[in-house]
Amino acid sequence: RSVRVHSRRESEGVGAGWVLHADGVLGAGAGGPVPAFDLTAWPPPGAVAVRTDDAYELLHQQGYVYGPVFRGLKAVWRRGDDVFAEVELPEQAHGDAERFGLHPALLDATMHALGVGEGVTGDEPTELPFSWTDVSLHAAGARSLRVRLSPQGVNSLSLSLADQDGAPVATVGGLMFRPVSVEQLSGVGVGGGLHEVVWRPLVSAGVVEGVGVSGGVVFEVPSVGVGVGVDPVVGVRSVLGGVLDRVKGWLADEGEGVEGGGPLVVVTRGGVSVGVGDGVDVCVAPVWGLVRAAQAENPGRIVLVDVDASGGVFGDVAGVVLASGEPEVAVRGGVVLVPRLVEVPAGAGGAVDGVPGVVGDGVVLVTGGTGGLGGLVARHLVEVHGVRRLVLAGRRGSDAPGVGVLVGELEGLGAEVSVVACDVSDRGAVAGLVEGVGAGLVGVVHAAGAGDNGLVGSMDGARLDRVLGAKADGAWYLHELTRDLGLAFFVLFSSAGGSVLAAGQANYAAANVFLDALAVHRHAEGLPATSLAYGLWDVATGLTEAIDDDARLMAARGLPALAPADALRLFDAGLRSGRAALVPLAVDVPTLKAHPGALHALLRDMVPAEAAPVVRTRTKGAGPAALIARLAGLGTEDRERALLDLVRGHAAAVLGHAGAEAVPAERGFLDSGFDSLTALELRNRLGEVTGCRLAPTLIFDYPSATELATHLRQTLFGEDTPADDLSAATADELFDLLDGDMFGSEA
């Protein structure tokens, strides 16, 4: 059968061209019998070891940039013209191996051996695999390989791949390489797309009735509503303060007294909009941002549920909701819905060039416009959309760093620019700002914001107030004071920190969800509004000065930073879409697939389930039970060493390093580059792999890899349990011996 592989970005639309990546021929049984090559003797007799400690530095100089999962080269030998190598998937990708015939990172690593050794300087030309012939797979799901690469003429070689026992895994009769230039690779990457949250049915109406909440506690959030006599600025603080106190209390006592250690179920009414005509309470909606942060920091401890504002009852479907494992759901008419992030097709809502409406000589107000993202948007409005009158509002006004240069650039482009000092958390100041612009105001871009990151346990009313002021209060005041001016557009700069990146920023997440809800609320009133919940921009701002570290960490999570050009392209697409709440985000699906255990529920549709290969290589057990059984059979020193390797490996993966050696055993985690967000990720990873319930302050309580490894050993096995007492125990017996509260239900 002939095979061709083409692709195009979904966001480019049906009229875009397709790119041909590969073509070939598949044949049934073309590989014939299992080959007779022998790699059982290892290292190969007569082969000379080659230095590999600088392998990836050399490969980088040659133009190859490999992420953590692809750095699998462990050892290299040469014997004559043949090259032998040992390659292995890093531990964080082991669980992914069985989903492939041969994991692409493992296959790629077999060729890394060609870029090291005596005589390799790093100045060699960049070459990529071009033509594969006679490729056969003999066993699937390998985590490690023994490899022989043998030359087959100019720029061609054959490969023989075996498992850790020397049994054949795959053969490649011929592989040709061709040089590639930087220009040929330009434009390759994750450019970002426009996404939105859709709600999909989980259970049809009437499936489960009268089922109570088992092993959990329900906390119903009081509704406030937006109407006569209700000030959302006050109301949102009242609601959030009550929820914060309840969540902090729950987490502090670890749900004591709850049978089975069940979750706290936070129930809202009108907290989310699940579709056209479904209203949202702007005072209650921010609860979802705050609780999402608590969920990310404490996996499995809290469930979010939104019910009909008209009086839907959660108890009717409680059993289904809790059994589903979904962290957040909505119940409408007895139907359970779950949220998923999906890409918005290009041109959705009707494509119109430029900003909506007729701007002409009208004035566009940009809050937070004296620097950072606001300054970039101001330039974009002038250069691309022809805006000629701008008011840039910022807390420091003309005293903001770089504002003089920005104004000079905008004026050089033909714009008339006014800079105004305004604290948008002050209603009187916003009223003066809007009155000063006058009737000529045609558009608003609210990009002002403030950050105050911290774990949910450290949050209080003052920290909520500090972040809500610039974002939420300012947005509401702008909404109130401009609603009768007939604006052409009203853009709110929200953040994915309200949804998929909420950990460590409960106050910021709540403020951003308020913006999303306000956009929905304005649409219901027939007013223009576009809330853009951006992922990280690849540019330093007042909120993200450490952009290099932030961008690297986000990329390691599968959510790389947006280049400014892509972010502004999505700004235009969002305006044209006619939708109220959108998520401009770059999503690196292969990286998400490499860490399925850390996948946020909103992103689950980004990584569809795949059929597993039928043929398998032998793999050791996985999961907490297998880990504990393996550790139990080790002596005390070996057990601690294994746990130290485990801690260092996961710490390196969180920080985006190639291997565990990048995290010194005795060096403090904070000195190695950890912050509160990466600390949480490491805690969650170790909790998942060991089955232990670990504190959010884990790396602060045990500030080095050595101390943390010791803590894990004591948690799993106690202070004085001899290895011999457990070495012959089965996994089930180990569960009986260990404290059951350490393990989740899946363990």
* pLDDT tens digits, 543-596: 544 445 566 677 777 788 888 888 999 999 999 888 999 999 988 877 777 666
For residue 229, being part of any structural domain is answered with yes
Average pLDDT on 37-61 reads: 88
**Nearest Cα residue to 237 out of 425, 494, 453:** 425
Element (H, E) at 408: helix 403-412
Q: In this structure, are residues 102 and 59 in contact, taking their beta carbons and an 8 Å threshold? A: no
Nearest-5° angle of CA 87, CA 93, CA 94?
80
Cα separation, 289 vs 417, in Å, equals 35
The pLDDT tens digits of the residues spanning 457-471 come to: 889 999 999 999 999
530 close to 491: Cβ distance less than 8 angstroms: yes
Residue 507: both structure tokens together: 């106050």
The per-residue DSSP string of 382-394 comes to HHTT---EEEEEE
Answer whether residue 614 is part of any domain.
Answer: no
Report which of 635, 734, 637, 636 is spatially closest to residue 690, judged by C-alpha positions: 734
- Answer yes or no: do 536 and 662 share one domain: no
- pLDDT one-digit tens code per residue, 91-113: 888 888 888 999 999 999 999 99
Per the rule left: phi > 0, alpha: psi between -120 and 50, beta: everything else, 166 is left
682 lies in which domain range?
624-742
Higher model confidence: residue 60 or residue 290?
290
Give the pLDDT confidence score for residue 355 in this predicted structure.
60
Same-domain check for residues 313 and 423: no
Tokens of 600: 């946020």
294 CB-near residues (< 8 Å, 6+ apart) = 247, 251, 301, 302, 456, 506
> How many CB atoms neighbour CB 173 within 10 A?
14
Please state the φ and ψ torsions of residue 425, each to the nearest 5 degrees.
Answer: -80, -5
Residue 198 lies in a domain: yes
CB 264 within 8 A of CB 247: yes
Residue 632: both structure tokens together: 């139990």
Share of the chain above pLDDT 70, in %: 81
- Give me the chain's average pLDDT, please: 81
Q: Is 307 among the domain residues?
A: yes
Instruction: Find the DSSP H helices in 438-500.
Output: 461-468, 474-482
Q: Please indicate, yes or no, whether the overall pTM of this predicted structure exceeds 0.75.
A: no
Tell me whether residue 606 is in a domain: no
**SS3 at position 522:** helix
* Domain-embedded: residue 599: no
Assess whether 210 and 293 both reside in one domain. yes
> What's the CATH number where 537 sits?
3.40.50.720
CB 300 within 8 A of CB 744: yes
* pLDDT of 541 higher than 80: no
> Which amino acid is located at 734 in the chain?
L
Q: Is residue 20 part of a domain?
A: no
Tell me if 33 is assigned to some domain: yes
**Which residue, among 97, 88, 101, has the nearest Cα to 594 in the 3D structure?**
97
Cα angle, residue 496 at apex, residues 659 and 426 outer, rounded to 5°: 130
Give the pair of three-digit tokens for residue 272. 């989310």
pLDDT at 612: 31
**pLDDT tens, residue by residue, 208-262:** 343 344 557 889 998 776 554 678 999 999 999 999 999 999 888 754 434 446 7
Tens of pLDDT, residue by residue over 613-661, are 333 343 444 568 888 888 888 888 888 889 999 999 888 888 877 678 8
- Number of domains, the chain: 4
Kindly give, in sequence order, each residue whose CB lies less than 8 Å from that of residue 62, ignoring residues fewer than 6 positions away: 115, 122, 123, 124, 125, 126
